A = this chain, B = another copy of it.
Amino acid sequence: MLSLVDLRSRLDSGALTPEAAIRLAQEAIAAREPEVGALVSRLAEPRVPGSGPLAGIAVGVKDIIDTADLPTEMGSGLYAGWRPKADAAIVMRLRALGAVPLAKTTTSPFASLDPTATRNPRAPGRTPGGSSAGSAAAVAAGMLPLALGTQTGGSVIHPAAFCGVAAIKPSFRLLPTVGVKTVSWALDTLGLFGAGIRDVAHALALLADRPAIDLGPDPGAPRIGLVTQDFAGAPEPAMAAALARAVRAAERAGARVSDLALPAPLPEAWAGHGIIQNYEARQALSWEYATHRSALSETLRGQLDRAQDLTAEAYDGARRHAHRARGVLKDLFGEVDALLTPSAPGPAPEGLAATGDPRFNRLWTLMGVPCVNVPVPGAGAPLGIQVVARFGDDGRALAVARLIEGALAAES
Give the B-binding residues of A (Cβ under 8 A). Answer: 68, 79, 82, 85-87, 89, 92-93, 95-96, 173, 176-179, 182, 185-186, 208-210, 280, 283-284, 286-288, 290, 311-312, 316, 392
Contact = CB atoms under 8 A, between A and B. Distances in A.
Nearest to A90: B283
A328 to B, nearest CB: 16
Nearest to A210: B312
Contacts of A79: 85
Given A85-B82, A173-B185, A312-B210, A92 B286 contact: yes
Per assembly, the copies of the chain total 2
A179 B96 CA distance: 25
A89 B283 contact: yes
Nearest to A82: B85
Contacts of A287: 68, 86-87, 89, 92, 179
A392 B284 CA distance: 21
14 contacts: A79-B85, A87-B286, A89-B283, A89-B286, A92-B287, A95-B290, A96-B290, A173-B185, A173-B186, A176-B185, A177-B185, A178-B185, A178-B284, A209-B311
Contacts of A176: 185, 280, 283-284
Looking at chain A's contact residues, the main secondary structure is loop
Nearest to A289: B92
Contacts of A173: 185-186
B210 A288 contact: no
Contacts of A286: 87, 89, 92-93, 96
A85 B80 CA distance: 11
Nearest to A284: B178
Nearest to A186: B173
Given A86-B288, A176-B185, A178-B182, 18 more contacts: A82-B85, A86-B287, A87-B286, A87-B287, A89-B283, A89-B284, A92-B283, A92-B287, A92-B290, A93-B283, A93-B286, A96-B286, A96-B290, A176-B284, A178-B185, A178-B283, A209-B312, A316-B392
Contacts of A178: 182, 185, 283-284
Contacts of A182: 178
A89 B283 CA distance: 6
Nearest to A316: B392
A82 B82 CA distance: 13
Contacts of A96: 286, 290
A211 to B, nearest CB: 9
Residue of A86, A92, A179 with most chain B CB atoms under a 10 A cut-off: A86
Residue of A82, A182, A284, A288 with most chain B CB atoms under a 10 A cut-off: A284
Nearest to A209: B312
Nearest to A315: B209
Contact of A208 (B82, B87, B93, B312): B312
Contacts of A86: 287-288
Contacts of A311: 209
A177 B312 CA distance: 17
Contacts of A312: 208-210
Contacts of A89: 283-284, 286-287
A214 to B, nearest CB: 13
